[in-house]
């Protein structure tokens, strides 16, 4: 009898919903930890490859434009729309006075760098 009651409780929509909610929270927590780790990696990459030419704490020009708030600005200095794809292309191919990094950065490093730039 007790076993039947326990099974009925476990199979109830409320229990299933609670379990699904708990699993969702675990996935979100793991994703947040992964994103935080990616931002740390991206910050390190920025310091190695980008900081000599770009500011992070302002939009002021250094050698290249300052990158603070790049995504909220919605466009690059040349007027083109800022998206993950367009920024990836810019990083890989380079630009007017910027070298391309396609040969020196792996795709996951470019993604980490973009993840960090989004936090500026």
pLDDT at residue number 16? 47
* Angstrom distance (rounded) from CA 105 to CA 99: 12
Per-residue pLDDT at 78: 84
Per-residue pLDDT band at 19 (split at 50, 70, 90) = low
Token pair, residue 109, equals: 């490093």
The reported pLDDT for the residue numbered 43 is 95
The CA-atom distances, in angstroms, between 17 and each of 7, 11, 20, 21, 30 are 15, 10, 5, 6, 20
The answer to whether 54 and 98 are in contact (CB under 8 A) is no
Q: Using the structure block, give the residue that is written with the tokens 């929509």.
A: 13
Q: Give residue 102's pLDDT.
A: 96
At 4 the pLDDT is: 57
When pLDDT is cut at 50, 70 and 90, the band that residue 6 belongs to is very low
Outline where the chain has alpha helix (H). 2-10, 13-49, 70-73, 84-93, 107-117
pLDDT for 76 equals 86
* Predicted confidence (pLDDT) at residue 63 exceeds the cutoff of 90: yes
Q: Which domains does the chain have, with CATH numbers?
A: 29-117 (2.60.40.420)
**Cβ–Cβ under 8 Å, residues 110 and 88:** yes
User: How confident is the model at residue 23, as a pLDDT?
Assistant: 52
Which range is least confidently modeled, 30-44, 51-65, 90-104? 30-44
- Whether the pLDDT of residue 49 is over 50: the answer is yes
Which pLDDT value is given to residue 29?
52
């Amino acid at each position: 009898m007790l076993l039947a009651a326990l099974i009925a409780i476990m199979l109830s929509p409320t229990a299933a919903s609670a379990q699904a909610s708990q699993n969702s929270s675990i996935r979100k927590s793991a994703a947040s930890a992964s994103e935080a780790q990616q931002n740390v990696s991206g910050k390190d990459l920025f310091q190695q490859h980008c900081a000599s030419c770009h500011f992070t704490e302002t939009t002021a020009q250094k050698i290249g434009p300052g990158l603070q708030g790049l995504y909220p600005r919605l466009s690059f200095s040349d007027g083109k729309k800022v998206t993950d794809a367009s920024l990836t292309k810019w990083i890989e191919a380079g630009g007017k006075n910027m070298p391309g990094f396609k040969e020196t950065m792996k795709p996951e490093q470019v993604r980490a760098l973009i993840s960090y730039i989004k936090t500026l």
